[in-house]
Structure 1
Amino acid sequence: MRITFDNPTTVPAPAGVYSHAARVDDGGTLLFLSGQIAVDEAGELVGEDDMTAQSHHVLSTIRRILDAHGASFSDVVQIRTFLTDMDRLAEYGAVRRHYHGEQHPTSTTVEVSRLFHPGALLEVEVVATVGSDHPTG
């Protein structure tokens, strides 16, 4: 088994001592993405108090990390979302459907009191397969 940690140049550098992605190659390949929030390259929050804008930014960042590893949202097998206000779930859900389409990975969504960056409304992490044919249903 080989584990590779990566920070694609297509997304802002991590805000701390962690990697954006961990790739596990053991016959098949799994890709684990760290939680992503809506910050730009300068570490500034995108879309203050705007769940739709933050959701688009977060999922666009995730798409760029997946792309850097030869994967897409159709390869996502698990998504975990942390929201600071569960009453705004529908706003996030509408954006998520745009990115995931008809693909429905396993999912966990929880409400948290706050995230590490002031003003962040959500954090999203995913697990995806890379370079494998998998049945869809």
Structure 2
Amino acid sequence: MIRRWNPPSVAAPAGQYSHLAAVPAGHELVFVSGQLGLLPDGALAGPDAESQTRQALANIRELLAAAGGGPEHIVKFLSLIAGVENLAGSRAARSEVFAEWYPDGEFPAHSLMVVTQLAAPQFAVEIEAVAAIPTDR
């Protein structure tokens, strides 16, 4: 089982993440490329960060399923948000999805960066993940 924790010797996390995550033996690391809010047909899920975040996380869930895992195997996220105006929408969607994925509040490590722009101006969010999937599946 992936171990996630927050030592008392540093300030508590400022959001939905754990300071540390450790991968036990018997797991394969799977790196998920940055996912955009694109539907399976390639159309944008919506013009806003909330719908794009929700879809990017759904894409990550689908990719992990294809690799034999799920959200519970995620060790680390990296979120790239295009502009501070997109933070609130992205956080709202992430909170909604994380409530389903991590009901115990044991969140993966997570870094978030606000950038000027992503690969194209219509993209508000890009999220990548690292997962540790048991090899005995």
Same fold (TM over 0.5): yes
Mapped partners of 2:46, 2:38: distance in 1: 9
Matched, 1:121 2:121: no
Structure 2 equivalent of residue 110 of structure 1? 113
1:97, distance to aligned residue in structure 2 (A): 2.6
Q: Secondary structure at the match of 1:34?
A: strand
Contact 2:76 2:130 in 1 (8 A): yes
Structure 1 equivalent of residue 21 of structure 2? none
Deviation readout 1:2-57 (Å, 9 max, x if unpaired): xxxxxxxxxxxxxxxxxxxxxxxx95300100000012344332201x12111111
Structure 2 equivalent of residue 52 of structure 1? 50
Deviation readout 1:79-137 (Å, 9 max, x if unpaired): 0000012343232223223333223111110111111133110100000010169xxxx
In the TM superposition, 1:25-44 aligns within 5 A as: 27-44=26-43
Matched, 1:85 2:83: yes
* Structure 1 unmatched ranges of 5 or more: 1-25
Partner residue of 2:71 out of 70, 73, 82: 73
TM-score (norm 1): 0.69
Of structures 1 and 2, the one scoring higher in RCO (CA 8 A, sep 6+) is 2
Identity %: 29
Q: Which amino acid aligns with 1:39?
A: L
Q: Which amino acid aligns with 2:90?
A: Y
User: What RMSD over aligned residues (CA atoms) do the two structures have, in Å?
Assistant: 2.1
Q: Secondary structure at the match of 1:35?
A: strand
Mapped partners of 1:81, 1:36: distance in 2: 9
TM-score (norm 2): 0.69
Mapped partners of 1:58, 1:95: distance in 2: 10
Aligned residues: 107
